[in-house]
Structure 1
């Protein structure tokens, strides 16, 4: 994104990632206190990692480096997806409402990766 005048804040995947962080923080507030340093913390860190890695990659000097960070952020999204499934299965989340949001985000993310690859 170097020299384009745009930043990570202009990317839809970053904006949706920030929305996801907000949702995860709200939902995990209701988790049991004993999970504060367990699943609650892990889910919050994975959620925050997603848009953070997009931002860091966008600030790098090359598209190749940006692509590397896009793959790291995609891994964080998969990690979060797994944690959401676990939280649901052990009864901390009543529904899997996040799954639609994650799937939409994953599709947009993969399309963006293809776009960046095409610019290499």
Structure 2
């Protein structure tokens, strides 16, 4: 697999879009919120794409699947932080709706990508 392959994946592009949106949201928070939960939320969101990229670079289907499972875990962690942020009045309803749409698109894509690993012909 080419090392550039992951950048072309729709699931990777969606993960980047989600993490960039979360970065913009958290960047507007006060210092206490940024330092306590914002940093963790950004890290978990960034970890989704990082795990996809690392899995592709590992060179085996088993390792790639393992890292995609970690990406799913990072997505779940991100959802946890978003729920906490909403309960603590750090997110607007509009932000929640935007992020929810992104997550609802990304989650099934991660599952589909996981199922497809090993079934994609290499170039």
Normalized per residue, the structure richer in helix is 2
Bigger RCO (CA 8 Å, 6+ sep): 2
| Number of the residue aligned with 1:50 | 48
Alignment of 1:34-113 (within 5 A): 34-95=32-93, 96-97=96-97, 98-113=99-114
Q: Deviations over 1:11-63 (max 9, x none)?
A: 00101111111100100112221122211101110111010010000001100
CA RMSD of aligned residues (A): 1.6
Which stretch shows the higher mean deviation, 58-67 or 93-102? 93-102
Paired positions, count: 117
Structure 1's unaligned 5+ residue stretches are none
In the other structure, the counterpart of 2:10 is: 12
Q: Which residue of 2 aligns with 1:23?
A: 21
Deviations 1:89-113 (A, max 9, x none): 1100012221121011001110111
Superposition TM-score, scaled by structure 1 size? 0.90
Runs of 4+ in 1 over 4 A off after TM superposition: none
How far residue 74 of structure 1 moved from its aligned partner, in angstroms, is 0.6
Gaps of 5+ in 2: none
Distance 2:69 2:43 in 1: 17
